[in-house]
Amino acid sequence: MPDTDTRDRQVQGLDALELQPERGRRGAGEVARRVWSASWPKLAAVAVVLLAWQAVVWSGWRSEWVFPGPDRVLPVLFREVSTAEFWEAVGVTMRRALSGFALALVVGVLVGLAVAQVRPLRVAIGSLITGLQTMPSIVWFPFAMLLYGISESAIMFVIILGAAPSIAGGLVSGIDYVAPSLLRAGQVMGLRGVQRYRLLIVPAALPMFVGGLKQGWAFAWRSLMAGELLVIINQQNSIGWALSQARQLNDAERLLSYVIIVLIVGILIDVFFTWADRSLRRRWGLAAA
């Protein structure tokens, strides 16, 4: 056998050849170019939508007080954004969204863990979870109002029913699809009980769980908007309240500006989940960097 030093060089040479050559750091110029190439199609799309909207208004399809163009809605939107009332409305709605989602998270995780672990439970309610996922959560509102009256609890109830099944489903499939080779490695290393969950099952299930969270958020947000329009809690400012007020006052500009706000919030949260998902995958080597 060659001496240690020669062997060391052989091993190191082989490793060096196998590894990807380091890529150079991106300069400021390249960062700017990447930002530009990622953002101009989006900006162009916004411009096209605004143009199409304006064109429909110009065509005179509906009178302008029912269907105002962006030239009238956008100034109202900017004026709204600078009022304290607006931020209060958004604040109330976001607080409801986040606390509802947090409750759904707790319920979803508990149910998901139970279903993943207890076989009879899975047989009993596994398909029920899938069924609930496909159910439009708005059908729960009459029942929720019967149970809780016109109150925030009614809205929370529906958010949980809307979001928890997706969160539970994501967790169950995450746990189900942990690679058998990793499970075997964990077994060989003596991972058991809580430690097995903490060091192996939970991190391994994370990417699918994040997928479930993303879907759960979408359902929670929809349920909340439906709830705020149906369960009008008097004098409690919120996005839903503002929308129905604007309709009653025939204030189309204000109505459309809140629709745009709902769209923007949805996009921002989606961007967050997409970022979380992608950075997770990158760390794990599941996606190209």
Partner 1 sequence: MRPMTTITDTPTRVSAVEVDAISKVFGEGAGTVTAIDGMSVSVGEHEFLSIVGASGCGKSTLLSLVAGLDRPTTGSVDTAGHKVAMMFQEAALFPWLTVGANIEVPMKVNGVPRARRRERVAELLELVRLTGFARKRPHELSGGMRQRVAMARALAQDADVLLMDEPFGALDAMTRDILHDELERIWQERRLTVLFVTHNVREAVRLGDRVVLLSSRPGRVIDEFPVEGERPRRIDSALIAGQAAVITDRLRQEVSRHA
Task: Give me the DSSP letters along 14-53.
Answer: HHHHHSPPPPPPPPHHHHHHHHHHHHHHHHHHHHHHHHHH
Radius of gyration of the chain (CA): 26
Distance CA 7, CA 13 (A): 10
> Which of residues 69, 91, 203, 266 is near partner 1 by CB under 8 A?
203
Q: Is 3 in the site for partner 1 (CB under 8 A)?
A: no
> Which of residues 185, 249, 264, 271 is near partner 1 by CB under 8 A?
185
Tokens coding 78: 């900017």
Residue with tokens 């990417």: 207
Tokens coding 101: 């989602």
Q: Is 278 in the site for partner 1 (CB under 8 A)?
A: no
CA atoms within 13 A on the CB side of 143: 7
Q: Is 18 in the site for partner 1 (CB under 8 A)?
A: yes
> Which of residues 49, 199, 249, 271 is near partner 1 by CB under 8 A?
199
Identify which of 224, 217, 271, 196 has the alpha carbon closest to the alpha carbon of residue 108: 217
Our CB check for partner 1 shows the closer of 18 and 41 to be: 18
Q: Which stretch binds partner 1 (CB under 8 A): 18-26, 76-84, 92-100, 230-238?
A: 18-26
Q: How far is the CB of 122 from partner 1 (least distance, A)?
A: 23
Our CB check for partner 1 shows the closer of 120 and 190 to be: 190
Enumerate residues 124-183 that contact partner 1 by CB under 8 A. Answer: 179, 181-182
Residues that bind partner 1 (CB under 8 A): 1, 7-8, 10-12, 14-15, 18-20, 179, 181-182, 184-185, 187-191, 195, 199-200, 203-204, 206, 283-286
